[in-house]
């Protein structure tokens, strides 16, 4: 089948951050990680280079989902959990829009879990910014599907007794084609991942480890905090060996069927033994293993973990319509009304 070129029209002038700043008061708490995410979006949209009218921001409900009001693009603030479904409709109906979805761990992994896995499975070409703060913020502090087991929250006074989702594992379980993980305290890393997400054809999920300063402060602190991030964060780059540590002395090696942390220069291990990141690999095996790594045994992996080429749902829709238009005898409603068995009286 032919693919139909439905690329998003580019801006003929260089846009700036100011083009995307909204006139609305930003009402997130001071110190909330969402502010940095907004800054990253305002920085990356001009860089992506599409006409400013061709961006469409969609959200569900929650702190994250106020996002559309704070960016000057077309946008819909939807209902709880349904942003993925609304985004799907926007993108199928108008593939010339660059669709961005702002959502949270409650919005997309609890009430909207069904839509989340299905938009990924279909590979609709939208970009999902999943603010993972491991808590329900807007309802003031209940545990979410990503809250670590045992955590005390307002609805788990003795600690949660639920196994949390790992976002990347869920994405790849749903046959995701793009997954990146970024910390909210590194705007460069966020911007790079967003840029790559925009370039990727298909559903791009960026899990942003976001801090909720009020209800789950420093939930990600052990991993992304300044103190020890060299030891706990591995930032992967395509084509480069997976090394981390203060002096880049540690690396990830694939031994038999498992990943392992090794020290370069010890026990005969050299940089050549270290796994090279291949984000474009269609096989999600290594990507899934990387997405699941977590302290204390391993560093947590950040950056674009997976970005594999597969046909997108919206392209296939356009392809089927194009084919039908080329081959069908029914070209308008009068044709259809008079098709098949009809008779004159």
Partner 1 sequence: MAKKKRPVVELNDAVIKFVGDSGDGMQLSGNMFSDVAALVGNDLATFPDFPAEIRAPQNTIEGVSGFQVHMGNSKIFTTGDLVDVLVAMNPASLRANLKWAKKGATIVTDTDAYDEKTIEKAGYKNNPLTDDSLADYNVIKAPMTALTKESLKGTGIDNKTAERSKNMFALGILYYIFNRDLSTSFHYFEEKFKKKPELIKINKIVLQAGYNFADTIETIESVIQVAPAVMEKGRYRNITGNTATAWGLMAASEKSGRPLFLGSYPITPATEILMELAKHKSLGTKVFQAEDEIAGICSAIGASYTGSLACTTTSGPGLSLKSEAIGLAVMTELPLVIVDVQRGGPSTGLPTKSEQSDLYQALFGRNGECPVIVLAASTAENCFYYAYEAAKLALEHMTPVILLTDGYLGFGSTLFKIPKMADMPSINPPIAKPNDPDYRPYKRNPETLVRQWALPGTEGLRHRLGGLEKADITGSVSTDPLNHQKMVNFRAGKVEKVADFIPEQPIDGHPQGELLVVSWGGTYGAVHSAVNQLQNEGKPISHAHFHHIMPLPKNTEKVLKGFKKIVVCELNSGQFVNFLRMKFPMPNFCQFNKVQGLPFMISELIEKFNQLLEEK
- Residues of this chain that interact with partner 1 (CB under 8 A) are 22, 24, 51-54, 56-58, 61, 68-69, 72-79, 82, 84-94, 96-97, 114-115, 118, 317, 320-321, 323-325, 327-328, 330-334, 336-338, 340-345
CB of residue 75 to partner 1, shortest distance in Å: 4
Instruction: Give per-residue burial for 286-302: e unless 16+ CB within 10 Å, then b.
Output: bbbbbbebeeeebbbbb
Nearer to partner 1, 272 or 334 (CB): 334
CB of residue 77 to partner 1, shortest distance in Å: 3
DSSP string, 140-193: TSEE-TTSPTT--BTTBTT---SPPPPHHHHHHHTT-SEEEEEETT-HHHHHHH
Nearer to partner 1, 173 or 221 (CB): 173
DSSP state of 228: T
Q: Is 148 exposed, middle or buried (0-12, 13-18, 19+ CB in 10 A)?
A: middle
Cβ atoms of 76 and 86 within 8 Å: the answer is yes
User: 263 by DSSP, 3-state: which?
Assistant: strand
Cβ atoms of 63 and 32 within 8 Å: the answer is yes
What is the spatial distance between Cα 124 and Cα 92, in angstroms, rounded to a whole number? 8
CB of residue 61 to partner 1, shortest distance in Å: 8
Nearer to partner 1, 103 or 160 (CB): 103
Q: Is 144 exposed, middle or buried (0-12, 13-18, 19+ CB in 10 A)?
A: buried
Structure tokens at 286: 């290594």
CB of residue 52 to partner 1, shortest distance in Å: 7
CB of residue 11 to partner 1, shortest distance in Å: 11
CB of residue 181 to partner 1, shortest distance in Å: 25
End-to-end CA distance of the chain: 43
Nearer to partner 1, 258 or 343 (CB): 343
Cβ atoms of 170 and 128 within 8 Å: the answer is no
DSSP state of 234: E
CB of residue 58 to partner 1, shortest distance in Å: 7
Nearer to partner 1, 152 or 321 (CB): 321
**Is the CA virtual torsion 257, 262, 266, 272 positive or negative?**
positive
CB of residue 55 to partner 1, shortest distance in Å: 8
Q: Where are the alpha helices (DSSP H) in 214-312?
A: 221-224, 229-232, 285-292
Cβ atoms of 59 and 80 within 8 Å: the answer is no
Nearer to partner 1, 130 or 259 (CB): 130
Nearer to partner 1, 88 or 232 (CB): 88
Nearer to partner 1, 92 or 269 (CB): 92
CB of residue 41 to partner 1, shortest distance in Å: 14
Nearer to partner 1, 119 or 300 (CB): 119
């Amino acid at each position: 089948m032919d693919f139909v070129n439905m690329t998003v029209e580019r801006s003929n002038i260089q846009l700036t951050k100011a083009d995307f700043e909204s006139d609305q008061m930003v009402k997130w708490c001071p110190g909330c990680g969402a502010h940095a995410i907004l800054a990253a979006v305002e920085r990356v949209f001009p860089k992506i280079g599409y006409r400013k009218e061709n961006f469409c921001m969609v959200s569900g409900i929650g702190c994250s989902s106020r996002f559309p009001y704070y960016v000057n693009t077309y946008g819909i603030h939807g209902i709880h959990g349904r942003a993925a479904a609304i985004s799907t409709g926007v993108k199928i109906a108008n593939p010339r829009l660059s669709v961005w979805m702002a959502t949270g761990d409650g919005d997309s992994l609890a009430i909207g879990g069904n839509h989340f896995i299905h938009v990924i499975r279909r590979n609709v070409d939208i970009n999902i910014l999943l603010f993972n703060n491991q808590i329900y913020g807007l309802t003031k502090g209940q545990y979410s599907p990503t809250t670590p087991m045992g955590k005390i929250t307002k609805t788990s006074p003795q600690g949660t007794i639920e196994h949390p989702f790992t976002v990347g594992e869920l994405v790849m379980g749903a046959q995701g084609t793009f997954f990146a993980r970024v910390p909210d305290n590194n705007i460069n890393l966020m911007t790079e991942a967003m840029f790559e997400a925009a370039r990727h054809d298909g559903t791009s999920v960026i899990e942003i480890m976001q801090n909720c300063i009020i209800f789950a402060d420093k939930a990600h602190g052990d991993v992304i905090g300044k103190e020890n991030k060299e030891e706990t964060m591995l930032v992967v780059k395509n084509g480069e060996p997976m090394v981390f540590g203060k002096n880049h002395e540690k690396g990830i090696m694939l031994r038999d069927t498992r990943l392992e942390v090794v020290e370069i220069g010890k026990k005969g291990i050299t940089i050549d033994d270290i796994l090279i990141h291949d984000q474009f690999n269609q096989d999600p095996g290594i990507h899934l293993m990387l997405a699941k790594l977590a302290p204390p045994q391993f560093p947590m992996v950040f950056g674009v973990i997976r970005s594999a080429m597969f046909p997108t749902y919206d392209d296939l829709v356009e392809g089927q319509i194009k084919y039908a238009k080329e081959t069908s005898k029914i070209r308008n409603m009068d044709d259809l009304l008079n098709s098949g068995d009809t008779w004159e009286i």
